[in-house]
Structure 1
Amino acid sequence: MAEPLKRRIGLGLLTAYGVGVMVGAGIYVLVGAVVADAGIWAPLSFVLAGLIAAPTALSYAEFSTRLPEAAGEAAFVGQGFSSQAMALFVGLAVVVAGTVSAGAVLRGGAGYLTAATGVDSALVIVVMGLMLVGVAVIGVLESLSLAAVFTAIELGGLALVIWAGGTAEPSTDWAVPAALPNMSIMAGLGLGAVLAFFAFIGFEDIVNMAEEVSEPTRSLPRAILLSLAITSVIYALVCWAAVRTVSVNALSQSTSPLALVWQVARGTSPDFLSYIAVFAALNGVLAQIVMASRVLFGLGKRTPGLAVFRHANPRFGTPVLATIVLGAAVILTGLFFSVDRLAEVTSSVLLSVFVLVNLALILQKRRAPAAPFEVPMAVPVVGLVLSAIALITALGGML
Structure 2
Amino acid sequence: MIGAGVFAVFGPAAAVAGSGLLLALVIAGFVAYCNAMSSAWLAARYPESGGTYVYGRERLGPFWGYLAGWGFVVGKTASCAAMAMTFGAYAGQPRLFAVLAVVALTAVNVVGVQKSVLLTKVIVTITLLALGTVAVTADGNADFGAFKAGGVLQAAGLLFFAFAGYARIATLGEEVRDPERTIPRAIPLALGITLAVYAVVAFTALNAVGADVLASAPAPLAAVAPDLALLIRVSGCLAALGALLGLILGVSRTVLAMARDRHLPPVLATVHNGVPRHAEVVVGLVVIVLVLVADLRGAIGFSSFCVLGYYAITNVSAWSLGRRVVPALGLLGCAVLAFSLPIASVAAGVLVLALGAAGWLTRKVLWSRSP
What TM-score does the superposition give when structure 1 sets the normalisation length?
A: 0.73
- Give 3-state SS (helix, strand or coil) of 1:321's partner: coil
1:270 to 229, 240, 255: 229
Partner of 2:178: 215
Q: Deviations over 1:237-289 (max 9, x none)?
A: 001111222234333433333112102xxxx2613322211111122112223
Assess, with a 3 A threshold, how the Cα gap between structure 1 residues 51 and 104 changes in structure 2: closer, same or farther.
Answer: closer
**Distance (Å, rounded) in 2 between the aligned partners of 1:188 and 1:285:** 28
Assess, with a 3 A threshold, how the Cα gap between structure 1 residues 148 and 297 changes in structure 2: closer, same or farther.
Answer: farther
Partner of 2:21: 42
Shift of 1:30: 2.6
Q: Deviations over 1:61-119 (max 9, x none)?
A: 101111111111111111221x2233223223322322332244235424544649x98
Structure 1 unpaired stretches of 5+: 1-21, 179-183, 314-318, 370-375
Q: Which moved more, 1:297-306 or 1:211-220?
A: 297-306
1:100 to 72, 78, 99: 78
Shift of 1:358: 1.0
**Distance (Å, rounded) in 1 between the aligned partners of 2:105 and 2:259:** 28
Q: Does 1:288 align with 2:267?
A: no
Assess, with a 3 A threshold, how the Cα gap between structure 1 residues 242 and 387 changes in structure 2: closer, same or farther.
Answer: same
- Give 3-state SS (helix, strand or coil) of 2:116's partner: helix
Q: Does 1:126 align with 2:85?
A: no
Partner of 2:364: none
8 Å Cα contact 1:27-1:199 kept in structure 2? yes
Partner of 1:3: none
Partner of 2:35: 56
Equivalences for 1:16-95 in 2 at 5 Å? 22-40=1-19, 42-81=21-60, 83-95=61-73
Shift of 1:302: 5.8
Equivalences for 1:8-19 in 2 at 5 Å? none
What TM-score does the superposition give when structure 2 sets the normalisation length?
A: 0.78
2:275 to 305, 321, 331: 321
Structure 2 unpaired stretches of 5+: 348-371
Q: Does 1:349 align with 2:301?
A: no
**Distance (Å, rounded) in 1 between the aligned partners of 2:96 and 2:148:** 45
- Give 3-state SS (helix, strand or coil) of 2:204's partner: helix
Partner of 2:331: 384
- Give 3-state SS (helix, strand or coil) of 2:194's partner: helix
Partner of 1:196: 159
8 Å Cα contact 1:78-1:87 kept in structure 2? yes
Q: Deviations over 1:317-354 (max 9, x none)?
A: xx9334x3443233213332234344333222111111
Q: Which moved more, 1:102-111 or 1:147-156?
A: 102-111
8 Å Cα contact 1:29-1:255 kept in structure 2? no
Partner of 2:289: 336
Shift of 1:233: 0.4
**Distance (Å, rounded) in 1 between the aligned partners of 2:268 and 2:195:** 36
**Distance (Å, rounded) in 2 between the aligned partners of 1:391 and 1:124:** 29
Q: Which moved more, 1:152-161 or 1:40-49?
A: 40-49
Q: Which moved more, 1:269-278 or 1:49-58?
A: 269-278
8 Å Cα contact 1:43-1:237 kept in structure 2? no
Q: Deviations over 1:23-52 (max 9, x none)?
A: 333322432443445544533432332112
Shift of 1:397: 4.9
Amino acid corresponding to residue 59 of structure 1 in structure 2: S
**Equivalenced residues, count:** 342
Amino acid corresponding to residue 213 of structure 1 in structure 2: V
Amino acid corresponding to residue 320 of structure 1 in structure 2: G
Assess, with a 3 A threshold, how the Cα gap between structure 1 residues 346 and 49 changes in structure 2: closer, same or farther.
Answer: closer
2:218 to 246, 255, 278: 255
Shift of 1:356: 1.5
**Distance (Å, rounded) in 2 between the aligned partners of 1:123 and 1:309:** 23
Q: Which moved more, 1:88-97 or 1:271-280?
A: 88-97
**Distance (Å, rounded) in 2 between the aligned partners of 1:311 and 1:66:** 31
Amino acid corresponding to residue 387 of structure 1 in structure 2: C
Partner of 1:109: 87
**Distance (Å, rounded) in 1 between the aligned partners of 2:266 and 2:173:** 19
8 Å Cα contact 1:77-1:87 kept in structure 2? yes
- Give 3-state SS (helix, strand or coil) of 2:339's partner: helix
- Give 3-state SS (helix, strand or coil) of 1:277's partner: helix
Q: Which moved more, 1:353-362 or 1:234-243?
A: 353-362
Shift of 1:129: 3.0
Amino acid corresponding to residue 304 of structure 2 in structure 1: S
Assess, with a 3 A threshold, how the Cα gap between structure 1 residues 198 and 25 changes in structure 2: closer, same or farther.
Answer: same
- Considering Cα pairs closer than 8 Å and 6+ residues apart, tell me whether 1 or 2 has the greater RCO: 1
Amino acid corresponding to residue 9 of structure 2 in structure 1: L
**Distance (Å, rounded) in 1 between the aligned partners of 2:102 and 2:301:** 21
Among the aligned pairs, what percent are the same residue? 26
Q: Which moved more, 1:119-128 or 1:197-206?
A: 119-128
- Give 3-state SS (helix, strand or coil) of 1:70's partner: coil
2:193 to 230, 233, 244: 230
Assess, with a 3 A threshold, how the Cα gap between structure 1 residues 379 and 62 changes in structure 2: closer, same or farther.
Answer: same
What's the C-alpha RMSD, in Å, of the aligned pairs? 3.5
Equivalences for 1:143-162 in 2 at 5 Å? 143-162=116-135
Partner of 1:170: 141
